[in-house]
Chains A and B, each alone.
Chain A
Amino acid sequence: MSSLLTQEVPISWYLLLSAVLFSLGVAGFLIKRNLITVFMSIELMLNAVNLSFVTFAHQWHAVKGQIFVFFVMVVAAAEAAVGLAIIIAVFRARATLAVDRIDLMKL
């Protein structure tokens, strides 16, 4: 038990968690049929990447890693704002949030 309490976590576990979260995000992007949920999967992907950045920053004592995460967050915020505004505009035009129904770009 004491060993369990004092045991450290290998870096690779963090990275594996990040990889799994990322692939879950991609899977969600492919599976979900609601436009907003698809967008949420994208946010999930971004978070997964943030985790791996922080992990590497921890390992190598690199400040720039954490600063990058900071910038990713800023960009994700801006992107979320604009993306949701687009979703609202699409909803107004097409009256549907189903991904498969929004196919005006079909050849």
Chain B
Amino acid sequence: MRISKRIRYLIGVTAVAFSLVLLVRDPDTRLPSGSDTRANPEARAGISDRQGNDGAAPSTGAALPGDEVRREDGMPAAMHAQMADIATAYAENARYPDYAKPLNTNDWNLLHPQALVPRQAALANAPGLSATVVLDRYILDRNLDQPVQVQLTTEPGTGGSVSVNRVTVWLQQSGKRSAVLTLAGMGQSFQGVLPASSLRSVPPGETAVVAQLELSNGERSNVNAMVRLYEPEARLVRLGDTRVDGADLVIPASFEVSRPGHFLVAANLFDAAGNEPVSHLTAELSLSPENRSGLLKVHAVTLRAKRAAGPYVLKDFDITRMPDAPGDLTGFGSAAMESFAVRGFPLDSYSHEPYQDPEAAEKLAFLKKLAAGK
């Protein structure tokens, strides 16, 4: 009986204390009707200013504490500082030509051109089981064999008992189907190679890579990935001898061209010794069966910034024929080899004039104007 009384006493004291806590909680933390608590963390948690005056919380929508920094024109200094930072970053970017930007390990999009971003798909008839179709690229040359993989994932805690016994893959476009390929593997991963003959059996264009899973419960399930098949309209076949021309390293490139056009040739230059990324190169070239060569260039400002005198390796090719008129489809090209060796020169072989981007000055002025607030 005494224990029971003590418990009741403790419960009572706790309840009173809790009520007091609720009562003394800053009234300003109560939101006006319709306010979004999720958007205002200070509204669901009493907030003090920077001096740590606990309990002196401003309400949602109330003015900020007096220590906030404002400019006289009413613009927050932080916004100005940020715009100034952006202007500085932009000016730094503009030091390098569009045709040879410095390449860094965090430039994912440049290091993975035309990437297929895999989509993990839940299966309607196998709860807890997901499948992902993985290919090297979204844009695929129909003349090359293409590795394909199907990865399976079982969501933890779902108690999913269904497994996959067999996976087959085919290409499908507008009612046309390629031959069926059975993937090797078991458990969580199945893989194989889609032969070029299969890729050529459907027309170029957007195509579904369909993977059919035979489940241990006797059912079947399909997942797919969309790819874009192309017939190369230009093919990089050879790089010529590199040379220094003023501030540029010049790389002659030769192509086989089956459809004339205005091509954008992009590739990544790496340091051959350490395989460190150096520069993302782009060149706009007018190519035709009669005019089959063009020049890729790397400005010394980029090579010096990366301290990369070479020799180099050029790879990750992304060759597109730009649409001549709005509404035209983009065409694509390929490279005869996965990578090409590129000779380098000592960095003092290049002249020292800085690169001037004629298009950047006005844009930089605009950003600076935003930073200045005028």
The answer to whether A and B belong to the same complex is: no
Residues of A within 8 A of B (CB): none
Residues of B within 8 A of A (CB): none
